[in-house]
Amino acid sequence: MDVTWIITIFLIGFVGSFVSGMLGIGGSIIKYPMLLYIPPLLGLSAFTAHEVSGISAVQVLFASIAGVWAYRKGGYLNKSLIIYMGGAILAGSFVGSYGSQFLSETGVNVVYGLLALIATVMMFISKKQIDDKPMNDISFNKALAASLAFVVGIGSGIVGAAGGFLLVPIMLIVLGIPTRMTIASSLAITFISSIGGTIGKLMTGQVDYYPAAIMIVASLIAAPLGANAGKSMNTKVLQWILAILISATTMKIWIDIL
């Protein structure tokens, strides 16, 4: 592989992981279309949808844990939320990632498009202003949280994502979790989800190890930088950045599918 290819893959991983750490998502909502479209646009060899989902699954594992490490001392990690949603999404992501081998290339892209579309709609639903509520007073419906996490895990496992781009709006809108706690806890849940997703992709031979290794290096550098940037940004700005990124990605993937 030439230098241009290596730099391209590294930059895709870096940008996606920076966004991952900043917004509390695994980054696949950004990296999936970038890996799918940017290499052929630059005249480089294209990845298949299955290869992209496999690379993304492995990369998200490292991006999310690097982001969590940056948030470990902020007091924003909700352990109860992480246990309930993390356990459910781990099971769902393994089911989805293992079952993805039976889907066509178009099928994988359609699942991604549907997940992105749902996330887009949810991000533009207004939520109660609870960001000023004391962290110790936060409560949530545990059964609902676990059920939604399991469903998200199945869909995100198929496309090699960890579901952070869906977990964030669910936690903000449905469960009523404050923004910074959502971002920090979502990264932890995303890490747990990516374990199941990665195992499923490895078992079914969908991982291209060389580009995955390059993106892992980029993740370990960029995710903590993004997390530190997110700590100092206005929560409304963070929400709008995520909404715009998800919307743009959704339009692009559906234009290509249709």
Rounded Cα distance between 121 and 101, Å, is 28
Reference 60, options 116, 21, 5; nearest CA is 21
Integer Cα distance of 26 and 30 in angstroms: 9
Dist. CA 132–CA 66, nearest whole Å: 27
At CA 9, angle to CA 69 and CA 50, rounded to 5?
Answer: 90
For residue 216, the model assigns a pLDDT of: 86
> pLDDT at position 84, please?
92
**Burial status of residue 237 (CB atoms within 10 A of its CB: 0-12, 13-18, 19 or more):** exposed
Query: How far lies 250's CA from each of 109, 169, 202, 217, in Å?
Result: 11, 15, 27, 27
Number of H helices, E strands in the chain: 10, 0
Burial string for 50-64 (b: 16+ CB within 10 Å, else e) reads bbbbbbbbbbbbbbb
pLDDT along the chain (258 residues), means of 10: 88 84 69 85 86 81 74 75 90 86 82 80 67 66 91 82 75 83 83 81 84 87 82 72 75 75
Which of 187, 204, 232, 214 minimizes the C-alpha distance to 85? 187
pLDDT at 127 (0 to 100): 61
pLDDT of residue 207: 83
The CA-based dihedral angle spanning residues 96, 98, 101, 107, taken in that order and rounded to the nearest 10 degrees: 0
The pLDDT of residue 5: 92
Using CB atoms within 10 A of its CB, is residue 213 exposed (0-12), middle (13-18) or buried (19+)? middle
The residue among 174, 164, 177 whose CA lies nearest residue 131 is 177
Strand (E) or helix (H) holding 77: none
pLDDT score of 10: 93
> pTM higher than 0.75, yes or no?
no
Q: What is the 3-state secondary structure (H, E, C) of 120-179?
A: HHHHCCCCCCCCCCCHHHCCCCHHHHHHHHHHHHHHHHHHCCCCHHHHHHHHHHHCCCCH
Handedness of CA 9, 11, 17, 19 (dihedral sign): negative
